[in-house]
Structure 1
Amino acid sequence: MSLEKSDTNLVSVASSTISGTKPQINTRKELFHCLLIALVGCTFGQDMGISPTYQFPSFKHNFKVHNTWINGIIVSIFNIGCATGGIVLSKLSDYYGRKFTICVACCIFLIGCMIQLIPSTHYGQIIAGRFITGLSVGTTAVVAPSFITETVSDPKMRGSAVVFYQFCVVIGIIYGNIVTLITSRKYDLDFNFNNNQWRIPIGFGMIWGLIVLIGMIFVPESKTYYKQKEQKIQNKKMSEEEKVKQQQNNESHHWKETFIGEPRLGFRLLLGCCLMFFQQSSGINYFFYYGSVLFTSVGLNDSYETAVIFSLVNFVGTIAGVYFVSKAGRKIIFLCGCIGGFISMLIYASLGSFALVDSNGAMSKSVGGCMIAFTCIFIICFAISLGPITFVLVSELYPVRTKSLSMGIATNCNWLTNFLITLLTPTITSKIGYKYGYVFAVCLGAAILFTWFLVPETKGLSSEQIDELFMSEKQKEERALFNSSLNSKQINESNASGENINYESSHDCSIDKDISPYVSNEKLETPNIA
């Protein structure tokens, strides 16, 4: 976008403001673009969906994997790649754009898949390939939700639009589960050890990377990125003294601001990290990564079929989540999901620990069926609440100037928690069995208390209003005084120039940009507006 085009857009918006009308917004087109962006979530979902592939006898025979630790590393190294990509590669979006970064991430994803498919008998190849695919997924997990929020003009639609990403993750899980089910039935699980059994699911995952690359052709670059780019062009024209002053006033990308900035940005970062931790420590990936192993021990003949059922339940729950996220408050949905998940996990762990096997050592299929039923209830609770709401709630906690870095750090907590769970689950379940479910129940109980007492409701609030939730009374008074003086100055300038502009319509979007960098350390500094 050129500066001339930007000026034309600004004139168009200003003209609409003067006439009292709102600019035309093509909501359908924006939502279509959001859907194309969100499709990148399928790359993450399909990795979860094909995780039973790494339990196939043909895979273990080819790579000589007969150790629970090695098995845990193969599955969990993906999350280390995600954490690395989320912090390092996601920064490309600030320099080269959101669209370009997603395209690069998709290419990295395809390379990671190809490395896993190279004929070899050493599991190090799989570990390297999964780490590289993790770099891709971690990058897109940070960039895609932000890209979606920047694409939607209507603030009321942003919550539902961000849920598109979670929805596509679920689609990817179903896809991966179905491909795994087909290959498990096509190739004998007991003998012959045909390597196509595990290679086909990995190869089919590459389709999503190609689809997203093609889809990006039709998606325009983020307007926010173009504004940042134009600002950099303006900065290049400044004198050295002006550049120093600009750098002092603008702490958008400064680590110090993220951790100790006001209003209470460090505390808000902690809230986001804890919410991400609770999402993963709920135990959802305990079922999705190792469900086939868990329910084989319950006595099911085809645990891969059960994994498909879980994915479909997750799909239905996510559809409900898309509806509720636009109707109910973020906090109440999160709390209800935690309570439902806590009860379900508690019953699941108790049945598996004390009722599944009788005193004679015989396994009760009816108890196993009840465990599957409560697992489905747990997945529904997660899909409606913790799955989609966590990312929406966390993204709304931060002001624009620190959102990118804060979201990257919070998302890393998500990946690292996921890494620990996927790494330790094979070993822990071999030691304590279904009592492992009590660990997740305790985490859900802690999440309920944490959310009830510390997490604010953010639905329907502007960035300025969310800032005020974390302000002291003194800061609120100073901000109100600043806003009053700013509006008076604008009105006086307007009257002097003979213009009659309705400032009310643009008030909400301008205040956060103008005032946020100046609210710091309990002191409000007045910027030079002249």
Structure 2
Amino acid sequence: MRFSNLRPPRPNVDKHFQTQNANAPNALGSEELVDTPIPWLTWRSFVMGIFISMGGFTFGYDTGQISGFLEMDDFLRRYGELGSDGAYHFSNVRSGLIVALLSIGTLIGALVAAPFADRIGRKWSISLWCVLVCIGVTIQIASPSGKWYQVAMGRWVAGLGVGGLSLVVPMYQAESGPRHIRGSLVSTYQLFITLGIFVANAINFGTEDRPDTGSWRIPMGVTYLWAIILGCGVAFFPESPRYDYRHGKVERAITTLSNMYGIPRNHRALMIEFDEIQEKYELEVERGQTSWIQLFRAPRMAYRVAVGVALQALQQLTGANYFFYYGTTIFRGAGIENSYVTQMILGGVNFGTTFLGLYLIENYGRRRSLITGALWMFVCFMIFASVGHFLLDREDPTRTKTPGVVMVVFACLFILGFASTWGPMVWTIIAELYPSEFRARAMSLATASNWLWNFLLAFFTPFITSAIDFRFGYVFAGCLFLAAGLVYVAVIEGQGRTLEEIDTMYVMKVKPWRSSKFVFPESERRASHQSSEKPSASHNMSAPGPPPDPSYLEG
């Protein structure tokens, strides 16, 4: 197919391809295609990946600060309950609501973000949800003494914004990023979540000794800064090229993607990718207007929605948040009494090891990384739970220092496994799992699953751990074993493939365990014709087609 024929059937788009833009040196049309090498990383894709990930930073910062607030003297006096011992404290119900209502807000925000993302675009949706984050922070920071429920409701409103960002940010990165680094770009969302948690812990550590409301209002007010930077800064970024293409702005879509790849507009790799985008778009037009009913009736979509919902639920059921909740106790066993130091250690490990995930996802693949990570965390949790239940003195952990040290080591090893695999990579899988027309709706359901389980674990963990102590870890270990099995039988490898190719492979029912070696026949022919080309010029730029070998397909 000639690149000049690449267009959705819309009059304004047809006009673009019928008349070549004289002011554009690389305008499409009858120009010969080029095969120059593709840069591994361009400054545009780097800046996009880092800056847009501020949406993850906002969530991580909000999550990291609240655990510190619950132990600050002024926050306790204002919103806690006076106990029989004359000291203020938070009951499990009150602390659970203050912490977990953010997750309820994020669940709702993720669901309602889909129609906004499809109507006003990915880019401006990000600004909209940043405004809601600022409103939620204002409600919290203005809460008078004794009105703990205003703090909780403010967190709910902020959660709406955070939930919307959790849908739109990975979607924007996946639709805009070059295929060969798409996994790393989307994974920076999780990287910035961990950075936000660490920065919040550090700021809490710096303000905890203040005797006034500044101990918690200062770190809370800093949230405005992150939301304003992202909400205003995104105005200088282009819209997602796939959103632009589906809404008739073909020239802008081509320009955006060529800039992200760092290649000319008449590059062969760009032609191949837009061939695939056109093919998928034409199928969308044939199906008519997108609806929630079509979401479950379209080819393999019900199956993929179920896989996405399960993956996001299992990301929470890995038990990572359990370590952050119970970290103070186990670190006391190792001789570290200051809970803020504990949080900084866990947050630092979480942030630092996420960089390993950015490497693994593009060099080791999604499937192998997720399966290996789940089994690694399974072993860590079995040892952690066994030592905690049978050897640690839970009344006074300092009396059993050796078990405490062992538990700290395996807590950090667990976080290493989570932060380098299931933490960042599930967001990438979800962003790759669905076709463009259903991506917003399907991702909203999967993301809502994440926030639902986030709420359930945040609210019920104090009750469960008080009843069965560290044996709760065995529950998470079982979920991790299940998670490894789900990835093996249901997740197709997306490393080095376009979003359209991944969609085609799911529709064709390619066996997930053979997907990493699956080759489209057109790519084989292209490889034979281009055997003398430089390898970096192609990056496995193949186009969808019928499978060359039926053994790749599910029965």
TM range (shorter): 0.7 to 0.9
Partner of residue 529, structure 2: none
Q: Which moved more, 1:2-11 or 1:97-106?
A: 2-11
Partner of residue 18, structure 1: 32
Label 1:158 to 1:62 Cα distance change in 2 as closer, same or farther (>3 A).
Answer: same
Given the alignment of the two structures, is residue 141 of structure 1 paired with residue 166 of structure 2, yes or no? Answer: yes
1:427 corresponds, among 463, 469, 472, to 463
Alpha-carbon distance between aligned partners in 1 of 2:173 and 2:502, rounded to the nearest angstrom: 22
Given the alignment of the two structures, is residue 281 of structure 1 paired with residue 317 of structure 2, yes or no? Answer: yes
Query: Could you tell me which amino acid in structure 1 is paired with residue 43 of structure 2?
Result: R
Given the alignment of the two structures, is residue 310 of structure 1 paired with residue 346 of structure 2, yes or no? Answer: yes
2:65 corresponds, among 38, 41, 50, to 50
Alpha-carbon distance between aligned partners in 2 of 1:307 and 1:434, rounded to the nearest angstrom: 19
Alpha-carbon distance between aligned partners in 1 of 2:56 and 2:394, rounded to the nearest angstrom: 43
Question: Is the contact made by 1:48 and 1:289 (CA closer than 8 Å) also made in structure 2?
Answer: no
2:213 corresponds, among 190, 195, 205, to 195
> How big is the shift at 1:374?
0.7
Partner of residue 156, structure 1: 180
Alpha-carbon distance between aligned partners in 2 of 1:372 and 1:457, rounded to the nearest angstrom: 34
Label 1:86 to 1:372 Cα distance change in 2 as closer, same or farther (>3 A).
Answer: same
Label 1:50 to 1:294 Cα distance change in 2 as closer, same or farther (>3 A).
Answer: farther
Question: Is the contact made by 2:55 and 2:230 (CA closer than 8 Å) also made in structure 1?
Answer: yes
> How big is the shift at 1:416?
0.4
Q: Which digits, 9 at most, give the CA deviation of each residue in 1:196-233, with x for residues without a partner?
A: 2222221222221122134224312223333333389x
Partner of residue 230, structure 1: 248
Alpha-carbon distance between aligned partners in 2 of 1:181 and 1:450, rounded to the nearest angstrom: 40
Label 1:362 to 1:197 Cα distance change in 2 as closer, same or farther (>3 A).
Answer: closer
Please state whether the residue corresponding to 2:384 is helix, strand or coil. helix
Give the alignment's TM-score, normalised by structure 2.
0.76
Alpha-carbon distance between aligned partners in 1 of 2:284 and 2:386, rounded to the nearest angstrom: 58
Label 1:465 to 1:417 Cα distance change in 2 as closer, same or farther (>3 A).
Answer: closer
Equivalent positions of 1:4-403 (< 5 A) are: 12=26, 14-15=28-29, 18-21=32-35, 27-56=42-71, 57-65=73-81, 66-120=90-144, 121-152=146-177, 154-184=178-208, 186-187=209-210, 194-230=212-248, 249-251=286-288, 253-262=290-299, 264-289=300-325, 291-292=327-328, 295-296=331-332, 300-357=336-393, 363-403=399-439
Alpha-carbon distance between aligned partners in 2 of 1:210 and 1:468, rounded to the nearest angstrom: 40
Please state whether the residue corresponding to 2:496 is helix, strand or coil. coil
Query: Could you tell me which amino acid in structure 1 is paired with residue 163 of structure 2?
Result: G
Query: Could you tell me which amino acid in structure 2 is paired with residue 126 of structure 1?
Result: V
> How big is the shift at 1:12?
4.2
Alpha-carbon distance between aligned partners in 1 of 2:196 and 2:345, rounded to the nearest angstrom: 14
Alpha-carbon distance between aligned partners in 1 of 2:331 and 2:219, rounded to the nearest angstrom: 21
Alpha-carbon distance between aligned partners in 2 of 1:317 and 1:253, rounded to the nearest angstrom: 40
> How big is the shift at 1:11?
9.7
Please state whether the residue corresponding to 1:443 is helix, strand or coil. helix
Partner of residue 491, structure 1: none
> CA RMSD of the aligned region, Å?
3.3
2:501 corresponds, among 456, 464, 467, to 464
Query: Could you tell me which amino acid in structure 2 is paired with residue 64 of structure 1?
Result: G
- In the alignment of these two chains, the number of paired residues is 463
Question: Is the contact made by 1:112 and 1:133 (CA closer than 8 Å) also made in structure 2?
Answer: yes
> How big is the shift at 1:465?
5.2
Please state whether the residue corresponding to 1:432 is helix, strand or coil. helix
> How big is the shift at 1:288?
2.9
Flag structure 1 segments of 5+ consecutive residues without an equivalent. Answer: 233-244, 474-482, 485-504, 516-530
Q: Which digits, 9 at most, give the CA deviation of each residue in 1:164-214, with x for residues without a partner?
A: 211111111110110112222x23xxxx6x332222221222221122134
Alpha-carbon distance between aligned partners in 2 of 1:214 and 1:454, rounded to the nearest angstrom: 39
Please state whether the residue corresponding to 1:50 is helix, strand or coil. helix
Partner of residue 276, structure 2: none
Please state whether the residue corresponding to 1:461 is helix, strand or coil. coil
Question: Is the contact made by 1:72 and 1:422 (CA closer than 8 Å) also made in structure 2?
Answer: yes
Question: Is the contact made by 2:334 and 2:408 (CA closer than 8 Å) also made in structure 1?
Answer: no
> How big is the shift at 1:28?
1.6
Question: Is the contact made by 2:174 and 2:432 (CA closer than 8 Å) also made in structure 1?
Answer: no
Question: Is the contact made by 1:62 and 1:195 (CA closer than 8 Å) also made in structure 2?
Answer: no
Query: Could you tell me which amino acid in structure 2 is paired with residue 32 of structure 1?
Result: V
Label 1:511 to 1:107 Cα distance change in 2 as closer, same or farther (>3 A).
Answer: same
Question: Is the contact made by 1:174 and 1:311 (CA closer than 8 Å) also made in structure 2?
Answer: yes
Question: Is the contact made by 1:48 and 1:288 (CA closer than 8 Å) also made in structure 2?
Answer: no
Q: Which moved more, 1:297-306 or 1:396-405?
A: 297-306
> How big is the shift at 1:367?
1.5
Q: Flag the structure with higher helix content.
A: 1
Give the alignment's TM-score, normalised by structure 1.
0.79
Label 1:226 to 1:394 Cα distance change in 2 as closer, same or farther (>3 A).
Answer: closer
Alpha-carbon distance between aligned partners in 1 of 2:49 and 2:339, rounded to the nearest angstrom: 35
Alpha-carbon distance between aligned partners in 2 of 1:354 and 1:246, rounded to the nearest angstrom: 59
Flag structure 2 segments of 5+ consecutive residues without an equivalent. Answer: 1-11, 82-89, 251-281, 511-520, 523-537, 547-555
The list of structure 1 runs, each at least 4 consecutive aligned residues, that deviate by more than 6 angstroms after superposition, is 2-7, 22-26, 245-248, 358-362, 507-510
Label 1:287 to 1:5 Cα distance change in 2 as closer, same or farther (>3 A).
Answer: farther
Please state whether the residue corresponding to 1:18 is helix, strand or coil. coil
Label 1:347 to 1:401 Cα distance change in 2 as closer, same or farther (>3 A).
Answer: same
Label 1:199 to 1:18 Cα distance change in 2 as closer, same or farther (>3 A).
Answer: same
> How big is the shift at 1:81?
0.6
Please state whether the residue corresponding to 2:193 is helix, strand or coil. helix
Please state whether the residue corresponding to 2:247 is helix, strand or coil. helix
Q: Which digits, 9 at most, give the CA deviation of each residue in 1:43-72, with x for residues without a partner?
A: 011022113224214323211343201211
Question: Is the contact made by 2:136 and 2:156 (CA closer than 8 Å) also made in structure 1?
Answer: yes
Partner of residue 236, structure 1: none
